Amino acid sequence: MKRILLCVFAVYTVCVAQAQNHTVDEVVWVVGDEAILRSDVERYRNDYNAQVKGDPYCVIPEQLAIQKLFLHQAVIDSITPDESQLSKLVETEINNRVLMAGSRERLEEYMRMSTTQMRELMTEQYRTEMIVSQVKQKLTEDVKITPAEVRKYYRDLPEDSLPYVPMKVEVQILVQHPRVSRQEVERVKEQLRGWAERVTNGTTSFSALARMFSQDDGSARQGGELDYYGKTDLDPAFAGVAFSLNDPKKVSKVVQSEFGFHIIQLIDKRGDKVKVRHILRRPEVDPKDMEACLARLDSIAADMKKGEFTFEMAAQDLSQDKETRNNHGIMLNQNMQTGERSTKFEMGELPGEIARLVDKMQEGEISEPFTMIDKKGREVGAIIKLKKRIPAHRANVTEDFQSLKNAVEGRKKAEVVDKWIREKQRSTYVRIKEGWRSCEFKYPGWVK
């Protein structure tokens, strides 16, 4: 195997002229049976140069080599990413970039590539990141931290070395949906039925209609197409109809979900997952109905301020937000990477409309009614209460036990991963091209 790899290395070090810019590419490292090209290093340097500390031609190849070790382990352990989650991450990132640029055309002009090319690059990048993260999780799954270890960590750290905890807040919310007239609901349903009929009789394609009219921004650009999803990944009503479809040429009846109204077309079924395209439409809220919604909230807030009932009682009985209603209105902050939930938010983690209000509120104060767009994309009315404001401070065991525990756990996991890299490094074939070896690597065992 080593002889074969040396031959591969020798062949690949022959310079390859790139048609576009006439630069020369070559293999600079080989890790196992994977090559690291000069172009890989240059692309990483262009994308992340500001984050690279040290000589990029030393730091970057080593980072890529470590990545290869993790990817090789993933093959051994049969670790693969959740493709539906991967698709969501990519679409969210592209949508955020479009919003920042102002339009898809401006983004493509700035990035000098189409959104399709961006999607392919991001998908590969996120797939690698997810696999590496899963391998690390598997390596450290047995790491457990005791309260005694947390307290020892806190005692042993000098005060000026304790983690700095930014200001955090706890917020309660009460949400009311504005009334939508029966006529407006029927108008939306009739519109969707009309489009379904046009697709069925061949007048136009489902994809074209989705691109023009669907209010699901993420899928509209793809002609309404969603990735493969299981039943539990979808809204129950939507899933019930999507999984009942059997003929890709037919369009579903109109179905109502928490997001609005849809028509759905089957693309494919694969095991317990389905791939469909859909068109989403939401009934428009009449300004008078939103005013009436805010007036109801104003009355509720006035009664709370008079002491007739508490915010907790009102949220539990009157709020129409499922996520917070059964938690006395307390908003929950979920870490998307770890899945951990907390009642505490940094200001930047709150929805913009709420953060702007909280910034000027006193602890215990109830806001005036306001409008916002909820997680389902619907315009709703709301009032909030600033339950608690925790000033920025150095971490302490009383208020920040979880943060300190995370710090101790992070250090312990890093030690496990560090040890694994050094062991994997010793047992993996590595070849570094002359001229790329004279570096002070973090893990000096690369050069053998």
* Residue 275, CA distances (Å) to 85, 186, 229, 238, 245 in order: 14, 28, 7, 12, 11
Q: According to the model, what pLDDT value does residue 160 have?
A: 85
pLDDT, tens digit, 9 for 90 and up, residues 42-94:
988 887 766 788 899 999 999 999 999 999 999 999 999 888 788 878 877 88
Residues 302-318, mean pLDDT to the nearest whole number: 95
Give the residue, 256 or 445, on which the prediction is more confident.
Answer: 256
Most confident of 150-164, 172-186, 395-409: 172-186
- With a cut of 80, say whether residue 8 has pLDDT above it: no
Find the largest Cα–Cα distance for the chain.
84
For domain 168-179+286-394, the question of CATH label 3.10.50.40 is answered with yes
Residues 170-194, mean pLDDT to the nearest whole number: 96
**Residue 97 token pair:** 């970039």
Closest Cα partner for 347 from 379, 315, 386, 378?
386
Q: Which residue has the tokens 């630069």?
A: 23
Q: According to the model, what pLDDT value does residue 192 have?
A: 97
- With a cut of 90, say whether residue 303 has pLDDT above it: yes
- With a cut of 50, say whether residue 17 has pLDDT above it: no
pLDDT, tens digit, 9 for 90 and up, residues 189-217:
999 999 999 999 999 999 999 999 999 98
Separation between Cα atoms, residue 228 and residue 436, nearest integer Å: 43
Q: According to the model, what pLDDT value does residue 382 have?
A: 97
**Cβ–Cβ < 8 Å for 9, 28:** no
- Give residue 12's pLDDT band: very low, low, confident or very high (50, 70, 90): very low
- With a cut of 80, say whether residue 14 has pLDDT above it: no
Separation between Cα atoms, residue 100 and residue 51, nearest integer Å: 21
User: Domain spans of the chain?
Assistant: 77-135, 168-179+286-394, 182-281
What phi and psi, each to the nearest 5 degrees, are found at residue 92?
-65, -45
Residues 6+ apart with CB under 8 A from 358: 169, 171, 347, 350, 384, 386
- With a cut of 50, say whether residue 346 has pLDDT above it: yes
**Cβ–Cβ < 8 Å for 90, 119:** yes
Tell me the CATH number for domain 182-281. 3.10.50.40
What phi and psi, each to the nearest 5 degrees, are found at residue 13?
-75, -5
pLDDT, tens digit, 9 for 90 and up, residues 418-448:
999 999 999 999 999 999 999 999 998 898 7
Q: According to the model, what pLDDT value does residue 6 have?
A: 34
Separation between Cα atoms, residue 254 and residue 251, nearest integer Å: 9
Q: According to the model, what pLDDT value does residue 335 have?
A: 72
The residues pairing with 382 across neighbouring beta strands, listed in sequence order, are 175, 370
Q: Which amino acid is at 58?
A: C
Give the residue, 99 or 254, on which the prediction is more confident.
Answer: 254
Fold: same for 168-179+286-394 and 182-281: yes
Mean pLDDT taken over the chain: 89
Most confident of 95-99, 275-279, 334-338, 372-376: 275-279
